[in-house]
């Protein structure tokens, strides 16, 4: 097997010495102010160990995949939003999209690997014209399918048919909602809170999150930029208390730490807070969650047929380094595919610390 890849792109980090600054001018309000404050409060930084080295020192076996339970498909980077935390830099201007030939190849890969879940992400999958065809084909394979969505897209006229299609095909939904009120959501994705609630109510009307295990609706929550995630249980209680009176229900809440890749990494660097954020994440490293890292239990096919260990690696520009690197190479292995990727060595980068904070993430 090949060696692990750990790409470091911070450079020049200094030893940590937290200090008080009684006369520091107040930073600007909002997102940029929070990023500025991060830099003020951690002016000198502990250089976190390279993530691959941290893994080897904690649980060496976590450097390797163990099986492929999930086949993730990133079907393109086009999105109707441009969220501040996005690790893919998705936006309405992006044109990357998965072609039908690549989709059919990914379905052949699913037949060969027999995963328990096909996990569809982007960008915003709801804007991908081939999504209905993929859902129907996946159902024929007998594989569960989950669609990740920003929820807002489901309120667009051209996507109005999708919630019913999801329900008819028992598609699980992971809907992104970075807050329980307009202000919290606006900081990351503008004034979209009400449209998110509309989408969640529509899904509820179709039977989602009402006790039927075939119609699961989970919320994906990203904390405010510059903050570490809080307890999933605590946040779930807060979300239920805030959203239930608004006619919204969900099955579970999944906390996803903001990953310093893509647009978020660029904003951190522009504000001078990248090193502070990386150190913050590394300081919350929890070796107990290494067994559950998503990269160890799945693999991703990108819109162009490239393979990555996970969607965060894809956003950071890191592809699979051990085994087949493209869909074409994977399919050419035939019966040898499962053995070639199920125990591959994972490629790591500094952004991987986001998945090992506190109770885990991703």
- Considering only CA atoms, which of 297, 272, 226, 216 is closest in space to residue 39? 272
Residue 163 inside a domain? The answer is yes
The model's pLDDT over 82-113, given as tens digits with 9 standing for 90+, comes to: 999 999 999 999 999 999 999 999 999 999 99
Residue 62 inside a domain? The answer is yes
**pLDDT on residue 32:** 54
Instruction: Grade residue 24 by pLDDT with cuts at 50, 70 and 90.
Output: very low
The model's pLDDT over 235-257, given as tens digits with 9 standing for 90+, comes to: 999 999 999 999 999 999 999 99
Residue 305 inside a domain? The answer is yes
45 pLDDT above the threshold of 70: no
Tokens of 359: 């109770």
Tell me, what CATH number does 236's domain have?
3.20.20.70
Do residues 17 and 46 lie in contact, with contact meaning Cβ atoms separated by under 8 Å? no
Cα-based torsion angle of the residue sequence 8, 10, 14, 15 in order, rounded to the nearest 10 degrees: -60
Name residues whose C-beta falls within 8 Å of residue 269's C-beta, 6 or more positions apart in sequence. none
Query: Would you tell me how many other CB atoms lie within 10 Å of the CB of residue 90?
Result: 26
Residue 99 inside a domain? The answer is yes
Tell me the C-alpha distance between 57 and 46, whole Å: 18
The model's pLDDT over 121-171, given as tens digits with 9 standing for 90+, comes to: 999 999 999 999 999 999 999 999 999 999 999 999 999 999 999 999 999
Do residues 305 and 326 lie in contact, with contact meaning Cβ atoms separated by under 8 Å? yes
270 pLDDT above the threshold of 50: yes
Instruction: Grade residue 359 by pLDDT with cuts at 50, 70 and 90.
Output: confident
Residue 10 inside a domain? The answer is no
Residue 349 inside a domain? The answer is yes
| Average pLDDT value for the chain | 88
Tell me the C-alpha distance between 40 and 54, whole Å: 27
Residue 9 inside a domain? The answer is no
- Rg of the chain over Cα atoms, rounded to whole angstroms, equals 20
Residue 187 inside a domain? The answer is yes
- Considering only CA atoms, which of 45, 54, 43 is closest in space to residue 20? 43
Do residues 18 and 41 lie in contact, with contact meaning Cβ atoms separated by under 8 Å? yes
Tell me the C-alpha distance between 321 and 256, whole Å: 25
Do residues 242 and 181 lie in contact, with contact meaning Cβ atoms separated by under 8 Å? yes
Average pLDDT over residues 324-336: 97
Three-class SS of residue 340?
A: helix
Total domains in the chain come to 1
- Range of 270's domain? 30-356
Do residues 31 and 261 lie in contact, with contact meaning Cβ atoms separated by under 8 Å? no
Cα-based torsion angle of the residue sequence 259, 260, 261, 263 in order, rounded to the nearest 10 degrees: 100
Cα separations (Å) of 188 from 86, 91, 323? Answer: 9, 13, 37
């Amino acid at each position: 097997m090949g060696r692990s890849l750990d790409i470091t792109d911070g450079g020049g980090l200094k030893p940590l010495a937290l200090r008080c600054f009684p006369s520091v001018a107040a930073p600007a309000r909002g997102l940029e102010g929070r990023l500025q404050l991060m830099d003020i409060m951690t002016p000198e930084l502990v250089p976190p160990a390279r993530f691959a080295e941290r893994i080897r020192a904690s649980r060496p076996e976590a450097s390797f995949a163990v099986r492929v339970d999930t086949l993730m498909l990133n079907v393109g980077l086009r999105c109707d939003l441009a969220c501040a935390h996005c690790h893919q830099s998705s936006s309405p201007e992006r044109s990357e999209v998965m072609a039908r030939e690549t989709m059919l190849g990914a379905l052949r890969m699913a037949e060969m690997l027999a995963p328990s879940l096909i996990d569809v992400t982007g960008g915003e999958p709801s804007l991908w014209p081939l999504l209905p065809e993929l859902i129907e084909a996946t159902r024929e394979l007998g594989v569960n399918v989950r669609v990740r969505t920003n929820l807002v897209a489901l309120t667009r006229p051209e996507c109005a048919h999708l919630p019913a299609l999801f329900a008819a095909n028992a598609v699980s939904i992971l809907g992104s909602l970075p807050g329980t009120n307009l202000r919290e959501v606006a900081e990351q994705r503008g004034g979209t809170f009400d449209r998110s609630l509309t989408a969640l109510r529509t899904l509820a009307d179709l039977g989602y999150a009402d006790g039927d295990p075939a119609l699961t609706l989970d919320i994906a929550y990203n904390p405010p930029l510059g903050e570490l995630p809080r307890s999933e249980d605590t946040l779930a209680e807060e979300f239920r208390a805030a959203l239930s009176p608004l006619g919204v229900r969900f099955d579970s809440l999944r906390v996803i730490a903001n990953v310093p890749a893509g647009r978020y990494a660029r904003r951190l660097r522009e504000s001078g807070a990248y090193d502070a954020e990386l150190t913050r994440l590394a300081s919350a490293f929890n070796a107990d969650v290494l067994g559950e890292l998503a990269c160890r239990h799945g693999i991703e096919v990108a819109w162009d047929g490239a393979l990555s260990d996970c969607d965060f690696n894809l956003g950071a520009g890191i592809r699979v380094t051990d085994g087949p690197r493209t869909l074409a190479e994977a399919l050419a292995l035939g019966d040898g595919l499962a053995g070639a990727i199920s125990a591959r060595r994972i490629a790591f980068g500094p952004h991987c610390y986001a998945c090992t904070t506190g109770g885990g993430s991703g």
